[in-house]
Amino acid sequence: HGFVHGGVVSYLADNALTYAGGSVLGDSVTSEYKINYLRPALGERLTARATVLSSGKRQAVCQCEVIALNNGEERLVAVAQGTISKVDTKS
């Protein structure tokens, strides 16, 4: 149909959320996340921009916007929010 599948958009958001959380926690994994699809992901490029909303010693809550670039115009196609947890290295 000419747009990027929602699973790919979700994968992009999940990775961006985890990288954002990892920037304050170190090694980390996604504990949970939710995504809202706003419109079909049409364009030449997709970009995910994630930020940390709040963080502690063990977890961070992050937010992500997935943007499609189409003919020089950016359009918001999805938003996601997730909880990122620090990986326990003590086993």
**Distance, CA of 41 to CA of 61 (rounded, Å):** 25
Question: Is 1 within the bounds of a domain?
Answer: no
pLDDT of residue 68: 97
Q: Report if residue 20 sits inside a domain.
A: yes
Domain count, the chain: 1
What is the rounded CA–CA span in Å between residue 88 and residue 22?
13
71 found inside a domain: yes
pTM of the model: 0.92
Q: Would residue 77 count as lying in a domain?
A: yes
Domain that holds residue 36: 6-86
Phi, psi of 74 (to 5 degrees): -90, 135
**Per-residue CA distances from 56 to 27, 62, 70 (Å):** 14, 12, 38
Is 91 inside a domain boundary?
no
| Tens-binned pLDDT, residue by residue, of the chain (91 aa) | 788 999 999 999 999 999 999 999 999 999 999 999 999 999 999 999 999 999 999 999 999 999 999 999 999 999 999 999 999 877 6
**pLDDT score, position 1:** 77
- List, in order, residues 6 or more apart from 24 with CB less than 8 Å away: 52, 55, 60
What's the CATH number where 74 sits?
Answer: 3.10.129.10
Predicted pLDDT at 91:
62
